[in-house]
Amino acid sequence: GKQFQIAIDGPAAAGKSTVAKIAARELGFIYIDTGAMYRSLTYKALHAAADLKSGKALKDLLDSTEIVLRQMEDGQHVSVDGQDVTEEIRLPEVTEQVSLVSSYKEVREEMVRRQRRLAESCSVVMDGRDIGTHVLPNADVKIFMKASVEERAIRRFKEEELKGRHPSIEALQDAIARRDKKDMEREISPLVKADDAIELDTTSLNIEEVVAAILRIVNARR
């Protein structure tokens, strides 16, 4: 039968990937983390000392870059040209530059082409910033996940603590707010709720509650 598509968009650190991953597993769908694709290109560009001010240079680099997302027992693995970069793409220097790299039309067009191809052959849960508005405009379910910036900074802080790092909550909050501003203000497919997306405010919900809410929405449409 026809593939089923779930689009999950929202600002940084709203918990999209955490719940998208679990929902995908429950449904037997493939999870596609589009942020990881932009992060992978950013990581490679930083390493290659590419000109981050040139959309053309970044698009050329992307054309010779193979990005592979895989779900394994221990979580999602991301590789760039055969090298596992799962940890590296989450480093602060990548996070700091990814909104610039993702702002170029040429880069976005190629990423969207790859994302649509990934969604062609199976039912998917795809998360990002422009999935419901642009990548999968006909998705069966569109969810716009949000949470207060304070709550998002606290969640990110807890993740960092598990990795043995202790950033200040204020610094995390500033970095999140800066990234959201860039993502919302860019010219090409900015971060915005699709008209037909269901808004889900997760500020006072835990992971299980958000997953349950998403599965309820999906099951009502299947």
Annotated binding site for ATP: 10-18
Alpha-carbon distance values, 169 to 12, 110, 150 (Å): 15, 35, 8
| CB of residue 128 to ligand C5P, shortest distance in Å | 2
**Residues 61, 130, 157, 176: which binds ligand C5P (CB under 6 A)?**
130
Pick from 33, 123, 157, 12: which is nearest to 86 by CA?
33
| CB of residue 1 to ligand C5P, shortest distance in Å | 26
Decide: is 12 part of the binding site for ligand C5P (CB under 6 A). yes
Using the rule CB under 6 A, give the single segment among 116-124, 125-133, 162-170, 210-218 that binds ligand C5P.
125-133
| Binding-site residue set | 10-18
Pick from 43, 46, 48: which is nearest to 87 by CA?
43
Q: Which of residues 154-213 bind ligand C5P (CB under 6 A)?
A: 179, 183
Pick from 135, 107, 120: which is nearest to 191 by CA?
135
**Residues 67, 98, 141, 214: which binds ligand C5P (CB under 6 A)?**
98
Using the rule CB under 6 A, give the single segment among 20-28, 65-73, 126-134, 194-202 that binds ligand C5P.
126-134
Distance of CA 208 to the CA centre of its chain: 20
Bridge-partner residues for 33, per DSSP?
127
Residue 100: Cβ within 10 Å count = 15
**Residues 27, 61, 128, 202: which binds ligand C5P (CB under 6 A)?**
128
DSSP 4: P
The count of chain residues that interact with ligand C5P, using the rule CB under 6 A, is 14
Residue 219: Cβ within 10 Å count = 10
> Which residues of the chain form contacts with ligand C5P (CB under 6 A)?
12, 34-35, 38-39, 98-99, 102, 128-131, 179, 183
